[in-house]
Structure 1
């Protein structure tokens, strides 16, 4: 309970716009950045003169978002660049072309924020390849996009300050609404199970992002890329668009504006407090190192190290499912 309460009602943020240095020359990508937390993160990055790719499905929404960011007072005079990147994380076959656009345009990639997600879509919703929509959009799509951009990020490490090249995986309050062990596999198929409880199914995909951060750090820690998972905090955003009206109303009263979630993301992406020793860590609102529940922590460790090996198994499954599209 203390873990949940402390993340639901965190202290005031200590890492905000004022703590972010000039980012001239830095290249960043924020997925799902046409609204909500991703929009706010993109705006702050652009205000600090970074090149920012708004990666999203809708070019129309991206055009509106770019105009809003450029027209805001905080971004007046920015020397940064804003670009729309067409990206549909629910459609694995299309992701490679999105990554290739970045690889053709840029010689570096400093920060990749996997912010996009879908929450509680109508029951039975699937991706274009038949995967559960939440698992596909929140896990398989970002995994594929990340893998395709790794060569560019590895290249950037050699020409960037130590520990500054980072991948941020958006999770949630993993102390709440999560099945025991954080994850359930279908014994028949070897795939992640589609759970009957809508919240548990969503949270399983969010635990998957914690697995990604931890496994990437374990497998690629010597590459010099810092990989972190983040609970951005409780905010009212478009993520809750499928929630019942009364629930949506309550969220609007209790939850914070999305900029607070951007502070959590950008702490992970930019804080000098984070070094290689924290690779794979879990960040909580509004920019703090946070605890991982014991039953999920066990899942992060391979069986050879006394854990349950669930994170390792999930990574291997994602590699198999996405191999044809990377």
Structure 2
């Protein structure tokens, strides 16, 4: 009996020690994440500046939009869910006192929607200082194709923004100095870009999310080269791994363990928005173009993604994919 009690006590102590070490590790990791997370230190106001941000009803997009509205920008919320965006607009107006916020319908997976949105902006706006490509989608197993016959993830995350940039570029040149900010991801390192299959409708969308982020960076680097000397800069960023709605698309049982990781170790949306805000507003980014940022600091890219020949070919193929017209602005 005494032996059993002794063994039980030892087990209890062992469990307590393991629990203590686990909790200590998590707390130390949280402190490390907090200490190394970049923060936009710029206090710059954006009064008189017009900003478009896509996909801003939740996550880092919402936090970025709020920050820019709070700085006094004329904020154009370009969203697929107009009702949610309008509710958020009312919240922003109440909390920031900025009444210069408008909501526009934009579904980046639809080439028709992109064209309609751009036509509205070019007709109604007399300037565009910052264009933030924030919207993104991520599925795990559900293969989807758009009405244009494009794979959904690539259409939303890359081809829609590619077309939108072309259609708004003249307005941005007229407003120079102006900035284009692309939210990419370090997950690009898990992928490559197959120039022989840029519309991979049979590939698992979980992998295509990584491919779309790879494409975002290639697009940004080539965009910066083509815009050199125009006064329009283009930079991209990794916001960090964020506790955001994008993880809701991960099905059970994969989502069960993932949620523990997400809640314990990922950045909050407000923390994740800091680098986007930094690239959009900071004076130190004046004339800086063709760079990749993480935690508000320039960060290195893999050699493979810097291939200029591949970037040029990708660009030319993308023009055909988005059905660019001879009458559309060229970059």
TM-score bucket of the superposed structures, by smaller chain: 0.7 to 0.9
Ranges in structure 2 where 5+ consecutive residues have no aligned partner: 1-31
1:300-323 CA-partner distances (Å, limit 9, x unpaired): x2xxxxxxx222121111111123
Which of 1 and 2 has greater Rg?
2
Change (3 A) 1:84 1:175: closer
After TM superposition, give the deviation of residue 267 of structure 1 in Å: 1.1
- 1 or 2, which has the higher helix percentage? 2
Partner SS for 2:323: helix
After TM superposition, give the deviation of residue 198 of structure 1 in Å: 4.4
Paired position in structure 1 for 2:65: 42
Match of 2:221 among 214, 217, 227: 214
Change (3 A) 1:238 1:14: closer
Aligned: 1:319 with 2:329:
no
After TM superposition, give the deviation of residue 192 of structure 1 in Å: 4.7
Aligned: 1:295 with 2:301:
no
Paired position in structure 1 for 2:36: 11
Change (3 A) 1:121 1:20: farther
Q: Is 1:185–1:193's contact at 8 Å kept on the other side of the alignment?
A: no
After TM superposition, give the deviation of residue 37 of structure 1 in Å: 0.8
After TM superposition, give the deviation of residue 20 of structure 1 in Å: 2.9
Aligned: 1:173 with 2:186:
yes
Paired position in structure 2 for 1:3: none
Paired position in structure 2 for 1:5: none
Paired position in structure 2 for 1:264: 275
Hey, what's the Cα distance between the residues in 2 that align with 1:94 and 1:270?
A: 28
Hey, what's the Cα distance between the residues in 1 that align with 2:140 and 2:128?
A: 32
After TM superposition, give the deviation of residue 140 of structure 1 in Å: 0.7
Match of 1:113 among 115, 119, 132: 132
Hey, what's the Cα distance between the residues in 2 that align with 1:109 and 1:263?
A: 21
- Which is worse superposed, 87-96 or 166-175? 166-175
Aligned: 1:238 with 2:266:
no
| Residues paired across the two proteins, number | 291
Hey, what's the Cα distance between the residues in 2 that align with 1:175 and 1:102?
A: 31
Q: Is 2:143–2:205's contact at 8 Å kept on the other side of the alignment?
A: no
Structure 2 counterparts to residues 1-326 of structure 1, below 5 A:
9=33, 11-16=36-41, 19-72=42-95, 75=96, 77-78=97-98, 81-120=100-139, 122-157=141-176, 164-174=177-187, 176-178=189-191, 182-186=192-196, 190-193=197-200, 196=203, 198-244=205-251, 245-246=255-256, 247-276=258-287, 278-284=288-294, 286-297=295-306, 299=307, 301=308, 309-324=309-324, 326=328
Paired position in structure 1 for 2:10: none
Query: Normalising by structure 1, what TM-score?
Result: 0.83
Paired position in structure 2 for 1:161: none
Ranges in structure 1 where 5+ consecutive residues have no aligned partner: 1-7, 158-163, 302-308
Q: Is 2:141–2:206's contact at 8 Å kept on the other side of the alignment?
A: no
Hey, what's the Cα distance between the residues in 2 that align with 1:199 and 1:124?
A: 9
1:151-194 CA-partner distances (Å, limit 9, x unpaired): 1001001xxxxxx410011100146422xxx31233xxx53545
Q: Is 1:233–1:264's contact at 8 Å kept on the other side of the alignment?
A: no
After TM superposition, give the deviation of residue 324 of structure 1 in Å: 4.6
After TM superposition, give the deviation of residue 127 of structure 1 in Å: 1.4
Hey, what's the Cα distance between the residues in 2 that align with 1:136 and 1:248?
A: 27
Change (3 A) 1:319 1:66: same
Change (3 A) 1:174 1:311: farther
